[in-house]
A and B are shown apart, each in its own frame.
Chain A
Amino acid sequence: MKNVRTDKLKGTSRQAGRKKGRSIPSIILLLIMGLFMLLPIYLTVVMSVKPVEELFVFPPQMYTLRPTLDNYKDMFDILKSNRVPFSRYVFNSVAVTVTVTVLQCGFSAMAAFVLAKCKFPGGKIINSIIVTSLLYQSNVIYIMQYIVMSEMGIIDTPLALILPAIASPMGLFLMRQSISQIPDSMIEAAKVDGAGLFRICWQIVMPNQKPALMTIIIFAFQGAWNIQGGSVVFQEQYKTLPTVVSQAASSGIARAGVAMAAAVFMLVPPVIVFILAQRQVIETMAHSGIKE
């Protein structure tokens, strides 16, 4: 299919055979399934704004008539009672998340490009090691990671949160799969023009691979934002939001509302990044067409 010469056909009618009316049945189907997906999230949000006395009313209500931000206030009050100001946790989280996301995506993209498109001794082995490492899940690994980190002397420093998260075999695997679809001729042409691998990667391959790149940004951000550092960082001033927020959510009794508020609060940044990145993914549709 890929060998069909299509360049002469470009610029004809957009997506032949697709009419607007056709998408209505799929919208209805998606809406029904979407309701199932969204219901628990909706309940979480509703419960986070329910006043305490309504939380255990019978029968349970799907809505509240007197929304309140008390649960959020309680959560922040608990967070404020720590020795370290709340802004410090926010700063830590943002610093860790941004560093990890940038380095993870940058490094994965470069490695994925080379692993997908260059033949060099060891390349095949590295490819299969990466996939195999995704399958290897063992609860002993965390202990071994801890031992490695303590040998390096980075336990109880911010580096213990950042460094282990940088190399993500998942991001690299996705990127490599996606780059493998680019025709070799495009890269050869760039090589003939004298561009180095670094430039080819960032100026030719990545602009063409926006959907995959944006997707690994979403994964990286989400992963980094939720790094639980409880077992490698003990000093209060290095802790990040997930650790302290889950502490706040689990302290005291009858705190279902606060737990919900914490969940909603932690969900906001990843959702914003998701929306921004997905917009980019969808825009790429407009100017693709560089394939063989």
Chain B
Amino acid sequence: MAQLTAEGIGRRTKKEKRAMLWSDIKKSKACYAMIAPFMVFFIIFTIIPVLMSLPMGFTDFNLAQPPKFVGLSNYTALFLSDKVFIQSIRVTLIFALFTGPVSYILCFLLAWLINGLPPKLKTFFTLIFYIPSMAGVYTVWQLIFSGDMNGYLNSFLMNLGIINSPIQWLTDSRYILGVCIVVQLWISLGAGFLALRAGFQNIDKSLYEAGAIEGIRTKWQELIYIVIPSMKPQLMFAAVMQIVSSFTAGTVAQNLVGFPSTDYKAHTIMTHAYDYGWVHYEMGYASAICMILFLAMFICNRVIGKFLGSSDD
């Protein structure tokens, strides 16, 4: 009997398959009802705008006139004649390679350290590390890195006698990128960090006990054999968040070192897109820039997904 049905499935015609799909859909009515409220808003305010924006990279669009189709010329211009874009790729890669992995590891280690504390301290420390991404204040960093003697950092270093004259942290092309990376790291313990904290809270205590009985002695062993395997979904979430925030960084630099920055030293791809989109009103070109950034993030996400062994994304 079982064999018969198995053969039957192999020989099903298209029509039968469609009928099966239809009956599957009918059976899943309750599922569709549950996702419907989300999907309605998601389709209207995310999917439709995204689909509308996809072809923009192939057009010349200045917001005043309707978009004009120009083929691949935006993309060829980007790679062949836009020197600032090539510079922005470099800046973005340096930025992403520094802030991405460092902040990812920091998120995890801090969440893990906090997890070993008593409850009151847990809330306290989670707040301290998360508060920068809630506040998003750049003004104060400007005062800290201010180039005159009034800057906190300059005055501090001069008091100690490490430097004799103030350093132009925000305009000297040697320091700009470093300063931006520090501030980016400061605000980067965001969604990923909080998600990991939640993940730690959800690990079943009995797993630790079972581990102890099976011969797990040190905290490191516990980390590798118990914690990481039970945190894979949250680790994947944090990775996606980290990719997005480190690749699309730009606001920090724009607010901190001005726009455009000296010698384009902190000019990320996102800043470049902002430049063309909102300063020059060349939306077609700007969205071609964003498309390239998206492809880079997409590939990066696939690689990390493979690494973390998640199959469904």
| CB-based contact A34/B141 at 8 Å | no
A108–B122 CA distance with the chains assembled, in angstroms: 27
A-B contact count (CB 8 A): 327
B297 at interface, CB cutoff 8 A = yes
Which of chain B's residues 125-169 have a Cβ closer than 8 Å to chain A? 125-132, 134-135, 137, 139-141, 143-144, 149-152, 155, 159
B236 at interface, CB cutoff 8 A = yes
Q: What chain A residues lie within 8 Å of B198 (beta carbons)?
A: 174, 178, 211-212, 214-215, 281
A282 at interface, CB cutoff 8 A = yes
Q: What chain A residues lie within 8 Å of B298 (beta carbons)?
A: 132, 135
B208 at interface, CB cutoff 8 A = yes
Looking at the complex, which one of B33, B128, B313 makes contact with A38 (CB distance below 8 Å)? Answer: B128
Q: A105-137, CB under 8 A of B: which get 1 and which 0?
A: 011101101110010110110111111111111
| CB-based contact A1/B226 at 8 Å | yes
A106–B270 CA distance with the chains assembled, in angstroms: 33
B293 at interface, CB cutoff 8 A = yes
Q: What chain B residues lie within 8 Å of A267 (beta carbons)?
A: 131, 134-135
A94–B27 CA distance with the chains assembled, in angstroms: 41
With A43-B143, A197-B30, A270-B134 as known contacts, state yes or no: A131 contacts B301, CB within 8 Å. yes
Q: What chain B residues lie within 8 Å of A218 (beta carbons)?
A: 194
A285 at interface, CB cutoff 8 A = yes
Of the listed stretches B73-81, B240-248, B257-265, name the one at the interface; the rest are far from the partner chain. Answer: B240-248
| CB-based contact A127/B152 at 8 Å | no
Q: A126-167, CB under 8 A of B: which get 1 and which 0?
A: 111111111111111101110110001000000000011011
A177 at interface, CB cutoff 8 A = yes
A169–B191 CA distance with the chains assembled, in angstroms: 13
A253 at interface, CB cutoff 8 A = no
A162 smallest CB distance to B (angstroms): 10
When C-beta atoms are compared, the residue in chain B nearest to A112 turns out to be: B38
A34–B131 CA distance with the chains assembled, in angstroms: 10
| CB-based contact B131/A285 at 8 Å | no
With A15-B205, A163-B45 as known contacts, state yes or no: A56 contacts B313, CB within 8 Å. no
Of the listed stretches A80-88, A233-241, A255-263, name the one at the interface; the rest are far from the partner chain. Answer: A255-263
| CB-based contact A140/B277 at 8 Å | yes
When C-beta atoms are compared, the residue in chain B nearest to A12 turns out to be: B209
Interface size class of B (residues with CB under 8 A): 35 or more
| CB-based contact A111/B34 at 8 Å | yes
B208 smallest CB distance to A (angstroms): 6
B37 smallest CB distance to A (angstroms): 4
B119 smallest CB distance to A (angstroms): 5
A167–B38 CA distance with the chains assembled, in angstroms: 6
When C-beta atoms are compared, the residue in chain A nearest to B32 turns out to be: A120
B10 at interface, CB cutoff 8 A = no
A275 at interface, CB cutoff 8 A = yes
| CB-based contact B210/A9 at 8 Å | yes
Q: What chain A residues lie within 8 Å of B191 (beta carbons)?
A: 170, 174, 219
| CB-based contact B122/A137 at 8 Å | no
Q: What chain B residues lie within 8 Å of A285 (beta carbons)?
A: 119, 201, 205
With A22-B116, A108-B38 as known contacts, state yes or no: A167 contacts B46, CB within 8 Å. yes
B104 at interface, CB cutoff 8 A = no
Q: What chain A residues lie within 8 Å of B241 (beta carbons)?
A: 170
B234 at interface, CB cutoff 8 A = yes
Q: What are 24 A-B contacts defined by CB distance under 8 Å? A: A1-B207, A12-B209, A15-B209, A17-B208, A36-B186, A37-B129, A40-B137, A40-B186, A44-B137, A62-B152, A110-B35, A111-B35, A120-B25, A121-B24, A131-B240, A137-B248, A137-B294, A143-B283, A178-B198, A178-B233, A215-B197, A263-B137, A267-B134, A282-B201
Which A residues have a C-beta under 8 Å from some C-beta of B? 1-2, 4, 6-7, 9-10, 12-18, 20, 22-23, 26-27, 29-30, 33-34, 36-38, 40-41, 43-44, 47, 56, 58-60, 62, 103, 106-108, 110-111, 113-115, 118, 120-121, 123-124, 126-141, 143-145, 147-148, 152, 163-164, 166-167, 169-170, 172-174, 177-178, 180-181, 196-198, 201, 209, 211-212, 214-215, 218-219, 222, 256, 259-260, 263, 267, 270-271, 274-275, 278-279, 281-285, 288-291
Q: Which 6 A-B pairs have the closest CB atoms?
A: A120-B28, A177-B233, A144-B49, A211-B198, A167-B41, A111-B38
